[in-house]
A = this chain, B = another copy of it.
Amino acid sequence: MSDQAMQDDNEGATASPWAPANQRQRQREAKRQAVLSTAAQLFNEKGFQSTSLDDIAARLNVSKPTLYYYVKSKDQILIECVNSGLEMMVEGIEQTRLAGGQAIDQLLACMRIYTRIVTQDFGMCVIRISDAELPSEHRAELRRLKSGIDHAFRRLVSASIEEGSIIPCDPKLTAFMIAGALSWIGQWYQVQGELTPDKIADAYIDTFKHGFLQRNQRPS
């Protein structure tokens, strides 16, 4: 709602200097998300251990006490960042499932979505923060989400073999190879670099589909 609209609503009454409650709630949530995104960027740049709440506050131009209005602790921020990244992955996989089609098309779509997510703030946290750095009381839940993503890739590989799209192979190993190659993108990707996530996904998907050997080097 614009300031003008607020004034119109309150015509005749003394205008309140506070925004309406629902607007304040939205502003608060936007600020909370800014805290989490900024924290994720710092974790990805210099590591979780080396990032302090002061660093996060400084980048947001606020004081540390202001941060505490939105988050409880650095550990809580970390959990929310990693959890957001994992939820994006789970939702992406679910969307490709709902879109239907051949298993191989779903698998390739998931690879593209996964590449996009590991090159974003929260997805990169999933890759760059080691399991050992996660607060122990949340480790099991986050591992459960990770394992669910692994199994989704494995099921898509299995279904792609069954429908005759993929050559017979160990679905677990192939799924690990896919998830590994894609996850590692989150380790080396630079947001300011020349490569877009979609260009990277194109190149990886092409190699996964056809291999890198010259055609004349292949067994017939």
Contacts and interface: CB of A to CB of B under 8 A. Distances in A.
Interface stretch (A9-17, A23-31, A55-63, A124-132): A124-132
Interface of A: 46-50, 104, 128-133, 164-167, 169-170, 173-174, 176-177, 179-185, 187-188, 195, 200, 203-204, 207-218
B174 A203 contact: yes
A203 B130 contact: no
Number of copies: 2
A211 to B, nearest CB: 4
Given A176-B188, A177-B203, 13 more contacts: A47-B130, A49-B49, A164-B217, A166-B213, A176-B185, A177-B204, A179-B184, A180-B185, A180-B188, A209-B211, A209-B213, A210-B210, A210-B218
Query: Does more than half of chain A's interface fall in helix, strand or loop, or is it mixed?
Result: helix
B177 A207 contact: yes
B180 A184 contact: yes
Contacts of A182: 180
B180 A187 contact: yes
Q: Give the residue among A182, A183, A188, A212 with the most B Cβ atoms within 10 A.
A: A212
Nearest to A179: B184
Contacts of A181: 177, 180-181, 184
